[in-house]
Amino acid sequence: MNAPTHIISGFVFAGTLCSFTDVNVFENPEYIAACALFSILPDIDTTKSLIGKICYPVSWMLYRKCGHRTITHSLVFLFFVWAVLYALFRLDIIPSTDIVKIAVFSTIGHFVFDMVTVSGIPLLYPVFKNPCVMPGDVNFRFKSGEWKGELIIIGICGLLCFTMQPLFAHGFWTAYNRQFGTIKHVDRENKNTEYYVVCEYSYILNAETHEGEAIVIDSKPSELTLFDRRRVFTLSADNPQLKVNYTRPRVSTIEKRFEDLNFSNIPYDSLQRMLSGKLASGLIQSNINVRYIEDAITYYTNFIKFSNRFDFQIYAGVDTTRITIRRNIARLEASIAQSRQLHQTDMDKWKAYQNSIRSLEDSLKSKTLTNYERNKMTQELIRRRSRNTEQPVYTPPAVQIAELAQLRQSLSENSLMFSGNLTVYTFGYDHSRTNPNVAINPINIPCYNGSSLLASVKSSNSFNSFSP
């Protein structure tokens, strides 16, 4: 067969077999080039072929030594191709085994389509030189170089390449599960892959149709737990109020990963930072009752167990013991402040009395006073000196101060603290074959078919009925 026939048939054959291993031969230019090259590589043993003309010295030597359709159309050559490419992969020259798969399947495709020709190929060369053909009846096989037969193959394979794009893009099993469009098949896809699965869904609730896509967080044969841009919701086949039109899976390139966080005696603000904007499950215990909301019901407890919650909110509760302690602290602080104020008032009176005595003493030093005024001031000075008291000394209320310190210590020890563990879903890195180590936002997870996760959600309020 000619090179165009081998190339187009190679895409169909290799693309179909690669779909069983979730490899899309049309995913990037490197895969396309590898498929095209190895679909015609066995014909390197003749100078008349396209690859033989490109590699003329090699093709001329192979043809002269072995002839056409001999060693390069055998299982020995297939093993040689696999061994060389696998060695290059182990040496990190080839980034992944996907190219190895494409090369091997493309080479096999070349063998298969040469076997349906009249002359066939010697698969067991050089042990056995007998040609292998299929079918056995020569009247049902093609003749090499006959343009009518080759046009038929090119036409059929070209049509298959166009119509089988969903199979190539999603892989065989994903395409199979998408074809049924049921929750059961999404569950099967989710449990058989190590990557996050994106679910395209359509359901009817209260006579309103909702459509969109979300990440599959958890799945059962009759129930899916999904995460969209904002919240977690559930689609259940057992819900009589909900009619699921379809659920179609699509495998992303992000590995399922979880981060385990253990913490002990952390404050409220630290816990909120750990939960903010995260999709998590966990077990949390607090030393004081707190408040949280589950299915529109408010709970007051110091033991919280939750699963698959996004941006989980915990609200500081009201503790009667702390209220009593604060009231007693306020009462003692007011009493101590009052004693200080009384001492300050006594000091102000004592200072004013001392100032009046000094004022009389300064007045008596004046030479302009008459004897009557001097005698009167002297008697007043003697009277005030006789009534003079010692400077007031402040004595702190030791009992109240000690009680206040004890209450403050008790309040500090009873501050709101949390302990427990969290399991956080991480969407941090793209582990795809073509874009390693690229940071990914969970809203824009790439998928095998080139589209992005959660690229659009047609109904912005589609999940209000299902959000916890």
Q: What are phi and psi of 185, to 5 degrees?
A: -75, -30
125 close to 79: Cβ distance less than 8 angstroms: no
H/E segment holding residue 350? helix 320-364
Q: What is the pairing mode between strands 242-255 and 208-220?
A: unpaired
Mean of the per-residue pLDDT values for the chain? 82
Q: Is the pLDDT of residue 462 over 60?
A: no
Q: Between these two residues, 430 and 300, which has the higher pLDDT value?
A: 300
- pLDDT band of 318, cuts 50, 70, 90: low
Q: Is 130 helix (H, G, I), strand (E, B) or coil?
A: coil
Residue 64 has a pLDDT of 87
At 294, list the tokens: 């589950």
Residue 101 has a pLDDT of 92
C-alpha closest to that of 38 among 17, 67, 21, 65: 17
240 close to 226: Cβ distance less than 8 angstroms: no
C-alpha closest to that of 287 among 304, 262, 305: 304
- pLDDT band of 396, cuts 50, 70, 90: confident
Which residues does residue 423 pair with via DSSP β-bridges, in sequence order?
A: 260, 281
Lowest-confidence region among 86-90, 116-120, 366-370, 395-399: 366-370
Q: Is the pLDDT of residue 55 over 50?
A: yes
In this prediction, residues 233-248 reach a mean pLDDT of 89
In this prediction, residues 132-138 reach a mean pLDDT of 84
Euclidean distance between CA atoms 109 and 79, whole angstroms: 14
Residue 350 has a pLDDT of 87
Residue 406 has a pLDDT of 82
Residue 451 has a pLDDT of 46
Residue 436 has a pLDDT of 40
Q: What is the pairing mode between strands 279-294 and 297-310?
A: antiparallel
Residue 447 has a pLDDT of 54
- pLDDT band of 205, cuts 50, 70, 90: confident
The tens digit of pLDDT for each residue in 253-276 reads 788 888 899 999 888 888 988 888
Q: Is the pLDDT of residue 152 over 70?
A: yes
In this prediction, residues 458-462 reach a mean pLDDT of 32
Q: Is the pLDDT of residue 243 over 50?
A: yes
In this prediction, residues 71-84 reach a mean pLDDT of 92
The tens digit of pLDDT for each residue in 342-394 reads 999 988 888 888 888 888 888 888 888 888 888 888 888 888 888 777 888 88
The tens digit of pLDDT for each residue in 179-189 reads 788 898 899 88
For the chain, domain boundaries? 3-170, 178-315+419-468, 320-413
Contacts with 96 (C-beta within 8 Å, 6 or more apart), sequence order: 89, 433
Name the pTM for this structure.
0.53
Residue 102 has a pLDDT of 93
Lowest-confidence region among 51-65, 132-146, 452-466: 452-466
Q: Is the pLDDT of residue 210 over 50?
A: yes
111 close to 449: Cβ distance less than 8 angstroms: no
Residue 412 has a pLDDT of 61
CA distances from 317 to 34, 105, 115, 283 (A): 64, 64, 78, 18
- pLDDT band of 438, cuts 50, 70, 90: very low
Residue 362 has a pLDDT of 85
Residue 103 has a pLDDT of 92
- pLDDT band of 281, cuts 50, 70, 90: very high
In this prediction, residues 304-318 reach a mean pLDDT of 84
390 close to 336: Cβ distance less than 8 angstroms: no
Q: Between these two residues, 412 and 121, which has the higher pLDDT value?
A: 121
State what percent of residues in the chain have pLDDT above 70. Answer: 88
Residue 411 has a pLDDT of 64
Euclidean distance between CA atoms 103 and 85, whole angstroms: 8
The tens digit of pLDDT for each residue in 155-199 reads 898 898 888 887 787 777 777 777 788 898 899 888 888 888 899
